[in-house]
Structure 1
């Protein structure tokens, strides 16, 4: 009975098409996805993975996340352990490998060091790298070494180190920006009330992480974009320009502090979406 009903409908459709054609009217062919001859489906948008840097957390991307989601992009604002490039890159790599489809990796500040190492060997998945006021280290370079390569950073006068005991009895050290220095040092163009909240919730970075040398530079094989912050007191603009030029990154400059994802989320989003659109 089920087969008979299908046949009746099919006959009815063909009769209707024939009658329409006979009347001199045009017939529109309808294609169905998955059927031979069907129109190709639009490529899915890449997932944007955002990696924060030192003295921040994933909430520093909130303004960027909301804009990307509004524009239809899937987004992951990953947590950064801030223990060292090898450890942090391995963690981020595990996040990326569990995402279906293409990925655009975005790193802020020390997060640039992390994405450069995490994306190495993942060229089939990570299609673009975006550096936001970030480090683009080469193999054998450290974040601290690149900061000191050019004058202009005042971070050394604004931080404090706090020692802690490791499980094996050894000693480690975490680095914070002093709360009374945070606004001017890290987020000078962010409203004072917001900067105070950021200072209270800042994530420390292991002192050793800033001196640990990178073992890979994915920007050598993956297209990259860079947003240079010209009023940056953490990573001098000259250092950012040097690294961006060396990586042949498509570079934009903005008159902003190091906390550009908070103070200018629209500008950051535009650079990220430029990279994402290049995948189509």
Structure 2
């Protein structure tokens, strides 16, 4: 089995894998990390494309890597987080008690596994909830439902929404690369969603200047996941919704740290004359006793997230107990 994992990168809504080109180049050339990207069918001008289609596409890429004995780290951005989290199902390392035969043990030695998830300005998927379910089916102000075409239409400036901290010429290039986004993938498919972050450790890259997913909501998500048992490391960058374009070096630095955490191995770093030093400050969010402002900035959102997570856990317990009572009658 290969020592270092393959990074399987899942883009978000309206985006193609080309959006990851900057960090893929850095990861492969400077850190010798293998990368594989996923193209989401829901972004390929097909209003009939579903979340299940996106999930199948991601799992196909993952399966190809692990079948060759490589471990995998799933990297996902925005909506892609729901795809990436769900795609983990069935690909994580079996628990010791699950390997009961010599054949199973032999198979486990030759097959790779998903060993971690890196989420970028995304969310922690809850099993059985479609992407729009937490929003009660109401789109955010940035896009609208176009029932005639079957697509989600962006109604704000894409440059301001996704890339406001990217230089103008470059931002316009990335805007030109945006595609359509199937509504079906956003509103349907709850039966296929899965909280993969509960099966493997996760790293979360937050985006402080995000105009698509407010950073306070991101911090609440992290608190929720931790309360629900997720092993989550949290880092933040002072960037827009797309740090892999505006701060690729800093993004890669966090990703390399995550891979080292997942594997317990050092990742080689090869200097490049063309590489620019990172301008972004990487923050480890957390409330500090001697810094009262940090209580408001980090402590409260994380605390609200913990309360939300506790509520979800209690609701789950109650639902299971209710079903158990009625199934025994």
Q: Answer yes or no: same fold by TM over 0.5.
A: yes
1:49 to 2:40 alignment: no
Q: What is the CA distance between 1:145 and its match in structure 2? A: 4.0
1:247 to 2:248 alignment: no
1:63 to 2:22 alignment: yes
Aligned residue number for residue 131 of structure 2: 143
CA contact (8 A) 1:189 1:263 kept: yes
CA contact (8 A) 1:147 1:235 kept: no
Paired residues in the alignment total 227
Q: What is the CA distance between 1:244 and its match in structure 2? A: 2.1
Aligned residue number for residue 143 of structure 2: 159
CA contact (8 A) 1:107 1:134 kept: yes
* Bigger strand share: 1
CA deviations on 1:139-189 (whole Å, 9 max, x unpaired) are: 13333344679xxxxx8444355566xxxxxxx5112425x7111111111
Aligned residue number for residue 36 of structure 2: 76
Structure 1 unaligned segments of length 5 or more: list them. Answer: 1-41, 150-154, 165-171
Q: Structure 2 vs 1, CA of residues 196 and 59 (structure 1 numbering), >3 Å: closer, same or farther? A: same
Q: The residue matched to 1:62 in structure 2 has which SS?
A: helix
Q: Distance in 1 between matches of 2:64 and 2:26?
A: 23
Q: Structure 2 vs 1, CA of residues 43 and 93 (structure 1 numbering), >3 Å: closer, same or farther? A: closer
CA contact (8 A) 1:111 1:135 kept: no
CA contact (8 A) 2:76 2:84 kept: yes
Q: Structure 2 vs 1, CA of residues 274 and 94 (structure 1 numbering), >3 Å: closer, same or farther? A: same
Q: TM-score, normalised by structure 2?
A: 0.63
Q: What is the CA distance between 1:203 and its match in structure 2? A: 2.1
1:268 to 2:251 alignment: yes
Q: Distance in 1 between matches of 2:15 and 2:208?
A: 20
Q: Structure 2 vs 1, CA of residues 209 and 259 (structure 1 numbering), >3 Å: closer, same or farther? A: same
Question: Which one of the candidate residues 211, 221, 227 is aligned to 1:233?
Answer: 211
Instruction: Point out the structure with max Rg over C-alpha.
Output: 1
1:105 to 2:74 alignment: yes
Q: Distance in 1 between matches of 2:169 and 2:16?
A: 17
Aligned residue number for residue 277 of structure 1: 260
Aligned residue number for residue 85 of structure 1: 51
Structure 2 unaligned segments of length 5 or more: list them. Answer: 43-48, 94-112, 227-231, 265-329
CA contact (8 A) 2:82 2:193 kept: no
Q: What is the CA distance between 1:68 and its match in structure 2? A: 0.5
Q: Distance in 1 between matches of 2:193 and 2:136?
A: 19
Q: What is the CA distance between 1:64 and its match in structure 2? A: 0.7
Q: The residue matched to 2:150 in structure 1 has which SS?
A: strand
Q: Distance in 1 between matches of 2:77 and 2:37?
A: 11
Q: TM-score, normalised by structure 1?
A: 0.74
Aligned residue number for residue 271 of structure 2: none
Q: What is the CA distance between 1:55 and its match in structure 2? A: 2.1
CA contact (8 A) 1:228 1:253 kept: yes
Q: Distance in 1 between matches of 2:157 and 2:61?
A: 33
Question: Which one of the candidate residues 203, 207, 215 is aligned to 2:179?
Answer: 203
1:130 to 2:114 alignment: no
* Bigger helix share: 2
Q: Distance in 2 between matches of 1:254 and 1:53?
A: 18
Aligned residue number for residue 175 of structure 1: 152
Question: Which one of the candidate residues 60, 72, 80 is aligned to 1:94?
Answer: 60
Q: What is the CA distance between 1:262 and its match in structure 2? A: 0.7
Q: Distance in 2 between matches of 1:230 and 1:108?
A: 15
Q: What is the CA distance between 1:118 and its match in structure 2? A: 0.5
